[in-house]
């Protein structure tokens, strides 16, 4: 899968989570699915795979705004940052 496809899948997962919270948020299954284990775990796994697979490909970092901009100039790391948020 390329970065765009992973972005689309993660967007759909996040949207599904929000829709479940909006329409069924007070049910036990909805809470455990969206804020419990399933959705957060899926997004965490994607984040870790992206981060471990592409860290070190740019000279960016988190010390200054310029370093963050350099870090996120790589589309894979930008995607990792988006999935994290």
Instruction: Indicate the helix (H) or strand (E) that contains 4.
Output: helix 3-24
Cα separation, 34 vs 13, whole angstroms: 10
How do residues 71-83 score in pLDDT, each as one tens digit? 889 999 999 999 9
SS3 of 2, please? Answer: coil
How many structural domains compose the chain? 1
Contact 83, 47 (CB under 8 A): yes
How high is the mean pLDDT in each 10-residue block of the chain (85 residues)? 95 92 85 83 94 87 91 92 91
* Cβ atoms of residues 80 and 50 within 8 Å: yes
What pLDDT does 85 receive? Answer: 87
Boundaries of domain holding 79: 3-84
What share of the chain has pLDDT > 90, as a percent? Answer: 56
């Amino acid at each position: 899968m390329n970065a765009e496809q992973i972005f689309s899948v993660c967007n759909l997962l996040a949207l599904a989570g929000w829709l479940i919270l909006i329409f069924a948020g007070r049910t036990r299954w909805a809470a455990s699915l969206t804020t419990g284990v399933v959705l957060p775990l899926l997004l965490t796994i994607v984040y870790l795979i992206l981060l471990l697979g592409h860290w070190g490909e740019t000279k960016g970092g988190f010390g200054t705004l310029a370093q963050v901009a350099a870090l996120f100039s790589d589309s894979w790391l930008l995607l990792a940052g988006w999935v994290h948020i």
